[in-house]
Amino acid sequence: MSRVSTEDRAQEPPEHARFAAYLAELEQVTGADEIELVGDVLTDPDRTMAQGAVLRHLDRRAAQLCAGPAWEGWAQAMARVVIRHPFLVRRLQEWSLCRAVALRLPWRRDDLLVSSSWLQLRIAAGSDTEALGVLAESGRTKRIRHTARTGLARRGGRGTP
């Protein structure tokens, strides 16, 4: 097993080191400090790197919280801190749609159809037969349509080719 040498680390671009540090901090943060830290990370001069770190954090936390009661407060607070970052806003909205589908809350077919391939594939791998039917018919890619059809077939629903 090879180890990264001290010399290699010294040659590492500074944004790589900051990215790793941000991820480590974001994994440890709790409570109200989380939102403050996300805001701080988003002030980094390398916007792409900062948004990448926040995106990883957002995905991790959303996956942890989306089925529970803490979701609403967390999502509202996160929405306020990412408001100036359209990609992060969209990802948070897509997590809300994912949550609605998973918990069988009201959701709109058109919202699912205009969502990203990332979300469609995530939902196509799920178990909501209504969403699977929509994606089997009109999913964005062949992979999404196939995944949804396979899910429907496993559940004894329509969608087998």
Summarize pLDDT for 100-149 with one digit per residue, the tens: 999 999 999 999 999 999 999 999 999 999 999 999 999 999 999 999 99
If you ran DSSP here, which 8-state letter would residue 158 be given? Answer: S
Q: What are phi and psi of 105, to 5 degrees?
A: -90, 165
Radius of gyration of the chain, Cα coordinates, nearest whole angstrom: 19
| Confidence band, pLDDT 50/70/90 cuts, at residue 19 | very high
pLDDT for position 103: 97
In contact, 133 and 157? CB cutoff 8 Å = yes
Distance in angstroms (rounded) separating the CA atoms of residues 25 and 53: 10
In contact, 128 and 102? CB cutoff 8 Å = yes
